[in-house]
Amino acid sequence: MSTVSRLPGIVTTDHVFRVPLDHRAPDGELIEVYAREVVAAGREGDDLPWLLYLQGGPGGKANRPLGRDGWLTRALDDYRVLLLDQRGTGRSTPATRQTLGRRGGPQEQADYLARFRADSIVRDAELIRRHLLGEGGRWSLLGQSFGGFCTLTYLSLAPEGLREAFVTGGLAGLRRSADEVYRAAYPRVARKNAAHYARYPQDVAVVRGIAAHLAERPAALPDGGVLTVQAFQALGLMLGSGTGSHSLHHLLEEAWVEGTEGPELSDTFLAGAQAQLSFAQGPLYAVLHESIYGQRSVDAGGTEWSAERVRKEFPEFDAEQALRADRPVLLTGEMIYPWMFETDPALRPLRETAQLLAERTDWADLYDPERLAANTVPVFAAVYHDDMYVDTVHSLETADAVGNVRAWVTNEWEHDGLRVSGGTVLDRLMRMARGEV
């Protein structure tokens, strides 16, 4: 029986669906997928069109509304919204260090997780659509970041289920390998570093001081993790959001305290770093991250820790070299490295599993370029200029390659524009769909 809850301005209904682990074997093992239906208070009985929301990630659960807030403020004017916890996340059958051991050893775990990519997520959504709307019902789709990648997969596999699609910061390169993605990413991350240091020049010395300290003495984090120089550099992930540079600065300005034996990294700083770096709440983000670029027709090899390999082509990110040369130490971005499975307690038990996924070479294609070129579903996409997470050039290539796409390129927002704009970004895309702009 579904649970109905009332929050300020909204009514929510819980849904749990049983779907095949492997959609090619519908009579085989089933897993659960959870979704939260949200409707504006007082409109529960209205015949509203549905809007399916696909969160970023991979491995990200849907947002938990506290009321009529954020982009829901705008969406609920027109839609009944379904917030999907993609398989393995949130209240769907979880895939974590605590649960995956039940699958067997690393090979069994890797084979299991290979079914958690966008193609499986889309097929889950199609079963849910037919259950809620009927065979002929169609819904609208909102894909944020990785949710936009899933939107392109949806348009490739089952466009007949969609009325329209909105994409925010998530037009993936259709024919771009993981190596190409990271070769484009490192220069963008370098630019974000330069902008941060121009905004907060005092942070150059602070970051260098922390890096030099950690090179001599890696720090223990409260959860048992280890803050190495490379782990510290991974805080650069913060630089891709609208307020991330400011948040990073505030974290850095409380880095040091005077201890009994002299200066040491403060508990405040270490706890803040852990909050940014730990994958305890979303391990699939790390385990499956590079697999979202795996397509055997694009690259017949495995992803093989692409971010780590490509990083060697950008020596400016070598912290030890920067310290020796008296240069600013550059922070990294949305990259997953194998050492993370040593320093993060939430990932350590999944180290061998992640290695097997990195070596995997049989990834099915996620996009159908011919079908996408002939697409008739209206697609309205926000492309953020110099987005740190998704390359703008790759996004615009895709906008040109997919039929019926209208792109809005903006530098007013960063990658998190949907979340932080109070509905402004979604409103713009919806007005584009209505022909108002």
Mean pLDDT taken over the chain: 97
Say if residues 9 and 40 touch (Cβ distance below 8 Å): yes
Whole-number Å distance between alpha carbons of 301 and 368: 19
In angstroms, what CA-CA distances link 290 with 99, 117, 167, 303, 389?
A: 22, 11, 21, 6, 13
Say if residues 401 and 155 touch (Cβ distance below 8 Å): no
Whether residue 212 has pLDDT greater than 60: yes
pLDDT of residue 271: 98
Q: Tell which phi-psi region holds residue 57, choosing left (phi > 0), alpha (psi between -120 and 50) or beta.
A: left
**Per-residue pLDDT tens for 43-61?**
999 999 999 999 999 999 9
Say if residues 33 and 92 touch (Cβ distance below 8 Å): yes
Average pLDDT on 150-165 reads 98
Spatial CA neighbour of 204 closest among 252, 238, 266, 247: 252
What are the start and end residues of each CATH 3.40.50.1820 domain in the chain? 4-174+367-433
**Enzyme catalytic residues:** 145, 362, 415
**Per-residue pLDDT tens for 323-342?**
999 999 999 999 999 999 99
Whether residue 1 has pLDDT greater than 70: no
Whether residue 387 has pLDDT greater than 60: yes
Q: Give the pTM.
A: 0.97
**Per-residue pLDDT tens for 235-287?**
999 999 999 999 999 999 999 999 998 899 999 999 999 999 999 999 999 99
Say if residues 416 and 242 touch (Cβ distance below 8 Å): yes
pLDDT of residue 216: 96
**Per-residue pLDDT tens for 391-420?**
999 999 999 999 999 999 999 999 999 999
Fold classification of 4-174+367-433 (topology level): Rossmann fold (3.40.50)
Whole-number Å distance between alpha carbons of 145 and 418: 10
Average pLDDT on 210-218 reads 97
pLDDT of residue 2: 77
Strands 162-168 and 139-144: parallel
